């Protein structure tokens, strides 16, 4: 159901989404461990070398579609789309590679400008138009209002409010939201 690769670069509003270089990842690492970013992440710190290795390994994985979001040569965010099997009884290849899990991060210095919405919309277009997925989900902490507003702006619906279902390394158990959208519900950008 999925293609081996997504064609990069891609436009996302004013941004360009593309696969990262080592220099790009250095830019991401400059803000990835910022307190304004990590307060919304499951892992509050990352080892720089493990971070780079994971990103570069994802480039060769046909089920991982990760990119940096660049504006005028500056990395202002990241996006990821992880292709997964659907849940259910085995029925041939119907459920294989049918769903995606979407994620995004924006440099706090560039927050509030619609970049997360642009990245999310572009990843959904990739999911449905390029990869033929049937459903995409995204998750966030319930207190991360900016993140769940992005999901709602692109047409995703809140399907779950998990009470103390999400572990945060510094805060302990906190509430989480799961959002989803089906291919037939998604409206590409005009």
Nearest CA to 12 out of 139, 152, 154 is that of: 154
Query: What one-character-per-residue DSSP string does 27-47 give?
Result: HHHHHHT-HHHHTTSSSS---
CA separation (Å) from 3 to 6, 61, 126?
A: 7, 11, 11
Q: How many CB atoms lie within 10 A of CB 101?
A: 15
Q: At what angle do helices 145-153 and 115-125 cross, to 10 degrees?
A: 50
Per-residue tokens: 99: 């769903």
Res 32: pLDDT = 85
In sequence order, the 6+-apart residues with CB closer than 8 A to the CB of 162 are 175, 176, 177, 178
- pLDDT tens, per residue, the chain with 190 residues: 434 568 899 999 999 999 988 889 888 988 888 888 877 776 667 788 888 888 888 888 889 999 999 999 999 999 999 998 877 656 666 666 789 999 999 999 999 999 999 999 999 999 999 999 999 999 999 999 999 999 999 999 999 999 999 888 778 899 999 999 999 999 877 7
Domain limits, the chain: 10-185
Report the CATH fold assignment for 10-185.
Answer: Aminopeptidase (3.40.630)
Res 34: pLDDT = 83
Res 84: pLDDT = 86
């Amino acid at each position: 159901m999925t293609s081996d690769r997504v064609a990069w670069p891609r436009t996302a509003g004013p941004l360009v989404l593309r696969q990262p270089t080592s220099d790009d990842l250095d830019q991401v690492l400059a803000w990835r461990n910022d307190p304004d970013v990590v307060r919304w992440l499951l892992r509050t710190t990352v080892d720089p070398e493990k971070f780079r290795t994971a990103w570069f390994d994802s480039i060769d994985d046909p089920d991982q579609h990760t990119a940096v979001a660049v504006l005028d040569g500056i990395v202002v965010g990241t996006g990821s789309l992880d292709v997964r099997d659907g849940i259910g009884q085995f029925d041939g290849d119907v459920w294989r590679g049918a769903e995606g899990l979407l994620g995004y991060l924006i440099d706090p210095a560039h927050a509030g400008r619609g970049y997360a919405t642009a990245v999310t919309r572009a990843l959904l277009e990739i999911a449905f138009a390029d990869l033929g997925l049937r459903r995409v989900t995204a998750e966030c902490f319930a207190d991360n209002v900016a993140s769940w507003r992005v999901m709602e702006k692109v047409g995703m619906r809140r399907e779950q409010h998990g009470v103390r279902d999400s572990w945060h390394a510094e805060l302990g158990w906190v509430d989480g939201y799961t959002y989803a959208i089906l291919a037939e519900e998604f409206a590409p950008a005009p």
